[in-house]
Chain A
Amino acid sequence: MISSVNRRNFLKVAGGAGAGLVLSFYLPSKNHEFLGESPNESFAPNVWLRIDPSGTVTITVAKSEMGQGPHTYFPMIVAEELEADWKSIKVEQADAHPDKYGSQGTGGSTGVRTSWENLRKAGATAREMLIAAAATRWNVDRLSCYAENGSVIHKPTKRSFTYGQLADDAGKVPVPQNPPVKDPKDFKIVGTWVPQLPTADRSTGKAKFGIDTKVPGMLYASLVRCPVFGGNVASFDATKAKAVPGVRTIVQIDNGVAVLADSTWAAMQGRDALDIKWDNGPNASLDSDKIRKMFEEYSSKEGVVGESEGEIAKALTAGAKSVEAVYELPYISHSPMEPMNCVADVKSGSCEIWVPSQTPQSAQDVAAQITGLPKEKVTVHVTMLGGGFGRRLDNDYVEEAVKISKAASVPVQLLWTREDDMMHDFYRPASRHHLSGAVDGSGKLVAWNHKMIGPSIGEQRSPGRFKDGMDRSALNGATEMPYSIPNYAVSYVMANTAVPIGAWRSVYRSQNIFVVESFIDELAHAARKDPLEFRLQMLDKSPRLKKVVETVAEKAGWKKPLPKGLGRGIACASCFGSHVAEVAEVSVEKGKVRVHRMVVAVDCGIAVAPNTLEAQIEGAIVLALTAALKGEITIENGRAKQSNFDAYPLMTIDEMPKVEVHIVNSYEALGGIGEPGVPPAAPAVCNAIFSATGKRIRRLPIVKLV
């Protein structure tokens, strides 16, 4: 039964005996920040809310859960407005659907921002309907009733009904159009430290990741691809592979050869026994030195200006002191702990998929294309994700699994080995940055020129897309600087290579903000100013950022002298709608950098789930510092040289700094939290290294230079 529809708020109610109360919402909103998507109108993630006669409140979450918390913060927001008993909350993961839930894409730190309004409205609407149902049953004035902890209470008589008792009746109540939402000062759940709902399953081995999917009759598949980017199979001999015990069949798909077997191990053994002749294609001689040289050559090109103000050329020479620097960043991998995988079962009239994906709707699209089936015949179940960091925005492994299942006419689990995962990533692009700046006699920054040279993710995915050579997203973090600088220019020189690239947590901001915040520090020292004061004097137009910078400085004890051998550095960023400042304390001994402490202040409007927020900041720091300290994928003979954690080490527990997170609730517009902690971490550490040693890090990873 659809009881009300309007343009802004499309709400459905399904009620009736035994069904309880079922609500769903659509609310159009701006949902962008996704890689390769221009900011356009799309649907916000939907809310499905069901209260059944047993009193269980089921919330369908259409965003992917990879530790960033939608299985907890979605229900927190709903339960807050619903006045639900937290213990009655159950979460269901939505399958992919073209439009039922709006965008199911999980990225761009959009989860809370795009859902907040809907989730609150869903909870408030259901609450009002439950209250109305109770008032009708008691035949009393609705205003004499209130909701609390999963019950509606009649104030004068203290009578009460549980939500379960009211669910069926509530399903028949007219839907209120503008139910009141709570004043944030009355929040009881939102803003409090709530444990993540999946924690117990994650601590007992019960959590089901993609890799844990088992389907009757399923074979295990291992796919061998050409190690050289853009290469492919020339010919292959499967005789030895077929002889491996447990190997059942071998199929070739367009990018490689898959071995299907009774067990993962047999599939891997069979794959190793394949005798393949490769056609390495046009990139077989590509290597990191050539790419670096190419960027250097391209740096003499005039960039396409992304942003400018004042007279940069004049200001650069007119300043009392000018500084120039070149910064370089390498390719790095995502390497989530769960390697890419997908289970696909292609039948003649249907296709069923189980996948840990950040973009299940794209997975559905791609499976529909490959199988020729209409989308409604393609079911995509989203499992728990063993990390994502942007890697799982791409569905290349879904394509492969569907093709293999289709070719072999059997359900298959395609599991990438770690080597597959590291050698066939969509890496964070390498880049080169030319900077020049000038300060005047009073120590004020008067000129800033930043030229970014690097590949465009958007161009690689749709060649020819940027006619003028400008991919604005490649300048994210370099443009829209929070500082007031009278003369500045930011430009881009597109320098594409054959190395596959993609979105890595905070995308281009993780590199551009590293460069910006490092060079700001250089200029502060050139101006003989304290790096904190230097920033603060330019932040008047960015009051929210200014406040977190001040907060972090205070909490870190910026003015207090450090013991000898320690250095302190600061960096900040406004991105994904949030404002973050970080102070790092480091020491450098015998060339080894040790990060002792990271102090973080963050303003994301309202910290909806402080527990998750703190975890996300710690996670952002680990990912960012792993990259800054050690991360580098080098290209050799057209392929990634590193293939596993022995050659591509990650930060370990003994290297983990103490992290202190300070939340600044401004109650202003909501910002995201998955990514904003990443960009300031590396520059804060490098600025601290400079403070400790006088050595400026202009090329990452740090391990190369210290």
Chain B
Amino acid sequence: MASISLSVNGKKETIDVQPDTPLLWVLRDTLGLTGTKYGCGIGACGACNVHMDGEVTRSCATPVLSCDGKSIVTIEGLEQNGHLHPVQEAWIKEDVPQCGYCQPGMIMSATALLKKRRHPTDADINDALSGNLCRCGTYNRVRKAIHLAAKNGGAQ
């Protein structure tokens, strides 16, 4: 067991788990933050995407040991002072989700993209989101929502 300190959605947490435990299971099972999803366990689908120090990170393939001292933001942490993130607002406006399972990961990729590119092109969106698998077919609405969020100042 190892004691690991990290910040999750702005809250300091000290975690005592096996150090090889992927961040995903710490979030879901230890901290009860179930918005981040398990899809493949090998970093191939993006359902588990979170931000680690602002960078999109596959939490299923990130041992919690490597998160010591880091700042993690999950889908639950995007809301600020009771206001949804502009990307989430755009998601709702475009009615993006179908089953919804991959959407937290999609949204985490989209919010990180908009921080880097205020007005992403379609090619930027392809680069940033092609690692997020959706089996239901929300891709076109995802693209529309990212453009809408960019228009509405989504680089929050």
Contact = CB atoms under 8 A, between A and B. Distances in A.
A263 B17 contact: yes
B108 to A, nearest CB: 10
B140 A338 contact: no
B25 A264 contact: yes
A183 to B, nearest CB: 28
Interface in A632-660: 644-646, 650-654, 656, 658-659
A204 B76 contact: yes
A336 B47 CA distance: 12
A476 B133 CA distance: 30
A258 interface: no
Contact of A337 (B75, B135, B139): B135
Contacts of A646: 42, 44
Contacts of B1: 245
Contacts of B47: 337
Contacts of A339: 38-39
Contact of B40 (A198, A200, A644): A644
B28 interface: yes
Nearest to B107: A203
Contact of A205 (B17, B104, B126, B129): B104
B37 A202 contact: no
A206 B137 CA distance: 21
Nearest to B129: A653
B130 interface: yes
Interface in B17-46: 17-18, 21-22, 25, 28-30, 32-42, 44-45
Interface string A596-640: 000000000000000100010011111100100000000000000
Contacts, number: 186
Interface stretch (A153-161, A379-387, A546-554): A379-387
A335 interface: yes
A67 interface: yes
Q: Which of B1, B39, B98, B104 has the most CB of A within 10 A?
A: B98
Interface residues of A, number: 63
A200 B92 contact: yes
Nearest to A220: B29
Interface residues of B, number: 60
A265 interface: yes
A618 B140 contact: yes
B136 to A, nearest CB: 5
Interface string B74-102: 11101100001000100110011111111
Q: Which of A206, A646, A652 has the most CB of B within 10 A?
A: A652
Contact of B95 (A335, A419, A611, A652): A611
A272 to B, nearest CB: 12
A196 interface: yes
A659 B141 CA distance: 11
A465 interface: no
B136 A204 contact: no
A242 B91 CA distance: 45
Given A204-B88, A335-B135, A656-B140, A199 B129 contact: no
B1 to A, nearest CB: 7
Q: Which of A199, A211, A335 has the most CB of B within 10 A?
A: A199
B30 A263 contact: yes
Contacts of A202: 97, 99-100, 103
B103 A203 contact: yes
A619 B21 contact: no
Given A653-B143, A656-B139, A386 B100 contact: yes
8 contacts: A209-B101, A263-B30, A264-B38, A265-B25, A336-B135, A337-B134, A388-B99, A623-B135
Given A265-B25, A615-B137, 11 more contacts: A67-B100, A67-B136, A199-B97, A203-B92, A245-B18, A419-B41, A615-B95, A615-B98, A618-B137, A644-B42, A645-B133
Going nearest first, the 10 A-B pairs with the smallest beta carbon separation are: A205-B35, A202-B100, A67-B98, A386-B101, A619-B137, A622-B137, A67-B99, A205-B75, A654-B126, A202-B97
Interface of A: 66-68, 195-196, 198-209, 211-212, 214, 220, 245-246, 263-266, 269, 335-339, 384-389, 415, 417-419, 611, 615, 618-623, 626, 644-646, 650-654, 656, 658-659
Interface of B: 1, 17-18, 21-22, 25, 28-30, 32-42, 44-45, 47, 74-76, 78-79, 84, 88, 91-92, 95-104, 107, 125-126, 129-143
